Amino acid sequence: MIKLSKRQDEILRIVKESGPITGQQIAEKLSLSRAALRPDLAILTMAGNLDARPRVGYFFNHNYEVKQQAEIFINQKVADYKAHPIVVDKSTSVYNAIVQLFLEDVGTLYAVDGTGYLAGVISRKDLLRTAIGNQDLQELPCSVIMTRMPNIITITLEETLLEAAKKMITNHIDSLPVVKEINPGNHTYLLVGRITKTTITKAYLEMMEQNLL
């Protein structure tokens, strides 16, 4: 994305407010000559910020603005949006995992092994399925019911929210553990956060509110 100069920003503001407007009228508003403005108008028209029609003047290109905002949004990094992961030891009982889910008010728990590395994902449905199965929930460890490595879909800090959204939709899951790869060869990942569908919705809402206020 091209960084605009202060004057180019000013021109965009004027055209947004008063377009269609002629080059001469813009120049008058900025107390500049039409000739001095020509290079800036050419840049803004070529870049797509403005549309120009002969004898009518310059228009603000709203589609271009929307596209730019969408681009900013989808390029946001996971690192800037991740939340704290709620973690249990994989030997924790299913009963305690259910209690933890309510206490922390989350939809998914992550299980770690003795060394603190990511070992599993425990979702609401995993717990419900187990709870209706007539098993002793106090005795049953999470490791038996969780989705295990290497089947866990993960995301890293450097990836984008768009990539996170794609992974969740493609794999029909509600959340992704954010990890640092210690040894990808043998699936050793350090858990550093979580991204959920709510994270994406919140980021979307924030951006929309910023642009509407």
Residues in contact with ligand ADP by CB under 6 A are: 107-108, 121, 123-126, 147, 151-153, 173-177
Q: Which residues contact 181 (CB under 8 A, 6 or more apart)?
A: 156, 188, 189
| Closer of 126 and 159 to ligand ADP (Cβ) | 126
Buried b (16+ CB within 10 A) or exposed e, 31-55: eeeeeebeebbebbeeeebbbbeee
Output the six-digit token pair for 108. 């998914």
CB of residue 162 vs ligand ADP: minimum separation in angstroms?
17
| Closer of 12 and 178 to ligand ADP (Cβ) | 178
| Closer of 45 and 188 to ligand ADP (Cβ) | 188
Neighbours of 134 (CB within 10 A): 7
| Closer of 124 and 180 to ligand ADP (Cβ) | 124
Pick the closest to residue 82 from 3, 159, 27, 144 (CA basis): 159
CB of residue 75 vs ligand ADP: minimum separation in angstroms?
22
| Closer of 49 and 175 to ligand ADP (Cβ) | 175
Is 33 within 8 Å of 24 (Cβ atoms)?
no
| Closer of 85 and 177 to ligand ADP (Cβ) | 177
Bridge partner residues of 118 (DSSP): 112
CB of residue 61 vs ligand ADP: minimum separation in angstroms?
40
CB of residue 170 vs ligand ADP: minimum separation in angstroms?
11
Determine the Cα–Cα distance for residues 176 and 195; give it in Å rounded to an integer. Answer: 5
CB of residue 204 vs ligand ADP: minimum separation in angstroms?
19
Determine the Cα–Cα distance for residues 38 and 36; give it in Å rounded to an integer. Answer: 6
Q: Which amino acid is at 62?
A: H
Is 149 within 8 Å of 110 (Cβ atoms)?
no
CB of residue 128 vs ligand ADP: minimum separation in angstroms?
8
